[in-house]
Structure 1
Amino acid sequence: MLPLDNYIPYLLNRAGARIAQSFSDEMRALGTTLQAWRVLAALRDRDGPRVSELSDRTSIEISTLSRVLDGMETQGLIARRRAADDGRVVTLHVAPAGRRLTDRIVPIAERYERVAVTGLSSSETETLKQLLRRVYANMDGLGAP
């Protein structure tokens, strides 16, 4: 029988849950959420995606993401716009208040990454990132439940 503390899905979840809980506490103190941060970070990397693209990028289900986006729009953090080439398509954009909040959060996010990889060389850190991306992509092999 596989010991729990040697089971990769458990180890990934355990590390992620610990980071997410602490990070969520810090986001709450800033008046935002971990999910809103994911949205802002994704839009910082690439402004103007559709909701479905943003859902894939942030790993937030569309129904949940829609509620998050509603709240962020009310707070003035993001804006929804109709695509110029297709008026039926809505794209998402960071508003000035969202940029200011993102600028406040980035140093916190960088600190979390630094702490998480303490004791790893830069080469090991890059390898870890590559392996985690591969593990994520490998899960496509399971197909839909």
Structure 2
Amino acid sequence: MKEKTIDYVLRATWMAVSKMYNEEAGKAGSTMATGFALLSIDPEKGTPSTSLGPKMGMEATSLSRILKSMEEKGLIVRRKNPKDGRSVLLYLTPFGQEMREYSKGVVLRFDEVVKSSVPEKDLKTFIKVAKTITDLIVEKKIYDPSLK
């Protein structure tokens, strides 16, 4: 392809970011998905397991595997929700909180380096374009049959 499509640029960029995060997480015996889950769990109040999937943009099956692994590694514990006995809240263990801080540091370092390397105006444009793409997808304005 002589000219790269928007899709190609997004995919290639995300693949590079994902690989970088997995390499950093691997140094701590973890994965990017685990780090993302740790960052998505409220460290004080816990988080309902049912709200974690949508928050992370993951399917229940994939999330179940990650949560099981996190529980086995001692990163999280599951407790019944005292306000609704039918649901479960996820809480970070002390080790989970430590790993959450590690993950947070990795993300903040990425942000810091990008922000120091890309002019603020360009970053604002990038964020605006990414939001527009997301909105087009969410509002089904790309493949909506009624628009053809």
TM-score by length of 1: 0.82
Give the whole-Å Cα distance in 1 for the aligned partners of 2:134 and 2:2: 22
Give the whole-Å Cα distance in 2 for the aligned partners of 1:77 and 1:4: 45
Q: Which residue of 1 aligns with 2:130?
A: 132
Q: CA RMSD in A?
A: 2.6
Structure 1 unaligned blocks of 5 or more: none
- The count of corresponding residues between Structure 1 and Structure 2 is 142
| Letter in structure 2 aligned against 1:129 | I
| Letter in structure 2 aligned against 1:50 | P
Q: Which residue of 1 aligns with 2:20?
A: 22
Structure 1 range deviating more: 107-116 or 122-131: 122-131
Greater percentage in strand: 2
Structure 1 residues 136, 45: closer, same or farther in 2, change over 3 A? farther
Q: Which has the larger radius of gyration?
A: 2
Instruction: Write out the 4+ residue segments of structure 1 that deviate beyond 4 Å after TM superposition.
Output: 44-47
Instruction: Please give the residue correspondences for 1:103-142 in structure 2 after superposition, counting only pairs within 5 Å.
Output: 103-142=101-140
Give the whole-Å Cα distance in 1 for the aligned partners of 2:43 and 2:123: 21
Counterpart check, 1:57 vs 2:55: yes
**How many percent identity over aligned positions?**
22
Structure 1 range deviating more: 89-98 or 47-56: 47-56
Structure 1 residues 103, 56: closer, same or farther in 2, change over 3 A? same
Q: Which residue of 2 aligns with 1:91?
A: 89
Q: Which residue of 1 aligns with 2:9?
A: 11
